[in-house]
Amino acid sequence: MTDAYVALEGGRVVEARARSPGTTRGELVFTTAYTGYEESLTDPSYEEQILTFSYPLIGNYGVREERFESDRVHPRGVVARDLTEDVVEWLEEEGVPAVDKLDTRDLVTEIRDSGAMKCGIAAGEDVTEQDALDELEQCEHMSDHTEIGDQVTTPETVVYNEGGDGPDVALIDCGAKGSIITSLVERDATVHLMPHDTTEAEVAELDPDVLFISNGPGDPENFDQANELVDDFVGEKPIAGICLGQQVVANALGGETEKMEFGHRGVNQPVRDLRTDRVVMTTQNHGYTVADPGDNLEVTQINVNDDTPEGLENDELDIITRQYHPEANPGPNDSKSFFDDVLAMADETATTTN
């Protein structure tokens, strides 16, 4: 019995089964990850998106809060071939509409062919195709979500591992995953998680050993204050960035970013280091990329599939960024040494200064 509809940009409507009722809209994207659905669903980078899982069964090892990357589900809707009761119950509690029993292979193919697209969903008793089309009509382009940072950032500074023996890190929260904080704390850093609109004066007062721009959702050009912080502290403090953080750093230093056709979302993206010629497997979740790094950043790593920049560095200015997620949970763990490199850069700068 059809009790859900998925309306795609262009007008096509796909019938489905309602699992968590409601109406919603967002940018329709897909992930190829076959594990890590709890991490994906709580990743702030999926804010304002409808997440489609290409793997056919989602929820086959339950739901455990200790695997969450944040305190809530971030996609505005969920699409899968089959959702287990554990996941359905969780999404219902979160108020996130979800549908299944549709051909996700066909849906993923359409996204790959046509690009990430606007989408409207209507699920539950008495819904109609028109309800889904009405949601689609109200859907905005991702770049039009100019205040998206406010939806995912911490409202005030929170300190983790205060008094740690490692460097002080000012982590600018543009939608940071919890695993980034954990990865830094595990290395005995003190992490100051700061709102995305933190001012230069507030960072200067903290006087951290490194400025770290986090991952986050949407268009990096909408994170003006994070961009300004990079511009303010470049050459004065070591600077690091992950995912959206790499894009923000590139924009601040004269580079350019652009929207990708359908992005990179999954746990098996191959990345080649141009200095060592080593290839590692990475977890990724982004729909924008660095189109031109500018004159101040060297591309040190590229995606094997499409040659997009995966790592940017400037040794003289103490800058290191990654487009992928070195902290990836549940894996792969090939690139976690990135955090060692960031903290070593901070330690070296502090030693030189002193």
pLDDT of residue 350: 62
Q: Does 175 share its domain with 126?
A: no
| Domain boundary pick from 94, 122, 140 | 140
**One domain for residues 195 and 335:** yes
DSSP β-bridge partners for residue 168: 190
Q: What is the 3-state secondary structure (H, E, C) of 34-85?
A: CCCHHHHHCCHHHCCEEEEECCCEECCCCCCHHHCCCCCCCCCEEECCEECH
Six-digit token string for 66: 């200790």
User: Considering 145, 196, 264, 325, which one is annotated as catalytic?
Assistant: 325
Tokens of 291: 């189109």
pTM: 0.97
Rg for the chain, CA atoms, rounded: 20
For residues 59 and 86, membership in a common domain is answered with: yes
- Say if residue 107 is in the same domain as residue 186: no
Can 243 be counted among the known catalytic residues?
Answer: yes
Whether 45 has a binding-site annotation, put simply, is yes
Q: Are residues 56 and 165 in the same domain?
A: no
pLDDT < 70 regions, the chain = 1-2, 350-354
CATH number reported for the structural domain that contains residue 217 in this entry: 3.40.50.880
Domain that holds residue 264: 148-353
Terminal Cα-to-Cα distance of the chain (whole angstroms)? 70
* Same domain as 20, residue 102: yes
For residues 123 and 51, give the distance between their C-alpha atoms in angstroms, rounded to a whole number: 15
The verdict on whether 192 is a catalytic residue reads no
CATH number of the domain within which 94 lies = 3.50.30.20
Ligand-binding annotation for 11, yes or no, is no
Tens-place pLDDT, residues 226-263? 999 999 999 999 999 999 999 999 999 999 999 999 99
Total domains present in the chain:
2
Q: Which of 119, 243, 286, 313 is catalytic?
A: 243
d(CA 130, CA 271) in angstroms, rounded, equals 43
Contact 249, 297 (CB under 8 A): yes
Residue 351 is predicted with a pLDDT of 59
The answer to whether 314 is a known ligand-binding residue is no
Q: What is the reported pLDDT for 331?
A: 80
| Residues 188 and 135 grouped into a single domain | no
Q: Is the same domain home to 184 and 95?
A: no
> Would the annotation count 244 as a binding residue?
yes
User: Is 285 a known ligand-binding residue?
Assistant: yes
Active site residue 264: no
Catalytic residue among 39, 48, 110, 327: 327
Q: Does residue 184 sit in helix, strand or coil?
A: helix
Q: Is 335 annotated as a binding residue?
A: no
247 labelled binding-site residue: yes
Name the phi and psi angles at 191, rounded to 5: -105, 125
Q: Are residues 250 and 205 in the same domain?
A: yes
- Whether 216 contacts 223, CB under 8 Å: yes
DSSP conformation letters of 192-244 = EEEETT--HHHHHHH--SEEEE---SS-GGG-HHHHHHHHHHBTTB-EEEETH
Looking at the fold, whether 245 and 199 belong to one and the same domain comes out as yes
- Burial of 128 by CB count in 10 Å (0-12 exposed, 13-18 middle, 19+ buried)? exposed
